[in-house]
Amino acid sequence: MNYTNLFKIAVRAIAANKMRSFLTALGIIMSFAVCSFTGIFFGWYPAKKAAMLDPIEAIRYE
């Protein structure tokens, strides 16, 4: 069974139960903010740590 079939099964289950999904502006903004913060933090923190290293010490272990 591939992912396309799983997607079709999920769509049919939602349609059979008449479930509605909706997006709100607040939900979109919050998800964008959380994703942006996560990406910036986990990109900035290792770079900040690496910038504080002495280049000779960093190369020594390679």
> What is the model's pLDDT at position 62?
58
Please, what are the averages of pLDDT over each run of 10 residues along the chain (62 residues)?
82 75 87 96 91 83 62
> What is the model's pLDDT at position 28?
92
Report the alpha-carbon distance of residue 60 to residue 53 in Å, rounded: 12
**Nearest residue to 48 via CA among 56, 57, 36, 40:** 40
> What is the model's pLDDT at position 8?
86
Report the alpha-carbon distance of residue 9 to residue 45 in Å, rounded: 42
Q: Any idea where the domains of the chain sit in the sequence?
A: 23-62
